[in-house]
Chain A
Amino acid sequence: EDQVTQSPEALRLQEGESSSLNCSYTVSGLRGLFWYRQDPGKGPEFLFTLYSAGEEKEKERLKATLTKKESFLHITAPKPEDSATYLCAVETTDSWGKLQFGAGTQVVVTP
């Protein structure tokens, strides 16, 4: 059975304290892995799509990487506005358009 697991469930950081979020997946065949950011009471905001092992993408203080078993979202020198829940989702080769989501990592960055 396909599975997506995010860790940790929650992360509290001091402003400037870099850290990484993990998304591990067990799927039959990966078509794409997606990262989203979600603020409380709002819809998820798209961040990155990764397609193959070794791929990396960056946006401001965020960098996403992908291996054959997991993806990492690195937050470098975070600011309080980076506080949000970060969601990971996968699309497999035998499930057209159907994203399977992890439960998310809630990140709080304090000044």
Chain B
Amino acid sequence: DGGITQSPKYLFRKEGQNVTLSCEQNLNHDAMYWYRQDPGQGLRLIYYSQIVNDFQKGDIAEGYSVSREKKESFPLTVTSAQKNPTAFYLCASSPRQGGQETQYFGPGTRLLVL
């Protein structure tokens, strides 16, 4: 059963704490993305990765970090430098082969601050 999984579904962060959101895909897609969604706003791109061991900053990368050590995994760390982390975080992937640009999304992780 192919798809994108994100865990956990809910995550609580304390002040000064770093937290890591998991994203795994078994679609054999080359590219992976992280978005942040706030109420009443469109999705905003945090980081994206075109290939293993390579990633680029999106529009709102400050306070976040990523790694891409395996094709199927793209974890996102929300660091203590991110002062307003409460949001719905979405991971996506796309084939990026033969003109296939469509991004497919995971179920999301909701991050709340204690």
Size class of B's contact patch? 20 to 34
List residues of chain A with CB within 8 A of the CB of B94: 97
Of B11-19, B62-70, B75-83, B97-105, the one contacting chain A is B97-105
CB B34 to nearest CB in A, in angstroms, measures: 12
Contact of B96 with A101 in the complex, beta carbons under 8 Å: no
Per DSSP, chain A at the interface is: strand
- Beyond A4-B42, A102-B42, whether A97 also contacts B102 by CB under 8 A is no
CB B108 to nearest CB in A, in angstroms, measures: 5
Contact of B107 with A97 in the complex, beta carbons under 8 Å: no
- Beyond A43-B90, A43-B108, A97-B31, whether A87 also contacts B43 by CB under 8 A is yes
A28 to B3, CA, bound (A): 33
Partner of A99, one of B40, B41, B45, B108: B45
Contact of B101 with A97 in the complex, beta carbons under 8 Å: yes
A96 to B107, CA, bound (A): 24
List residues of chain B with CB within 8 A of the CB of A103: 40-42
**22 A-B residue pairs with CB within 8 Å:** A31-B101, A34-B103, A36-B105, A41-B108, A41-B110, A42-B107, A42-B108, A43-B6, A43-B107, A45-B105, A46-B103, A46-B105, A89-B42, A89-B43, A91-B101, A97-B31, A97-B103, A98-B45, A101-B44, A102-B42, A103-B40, A104-B42
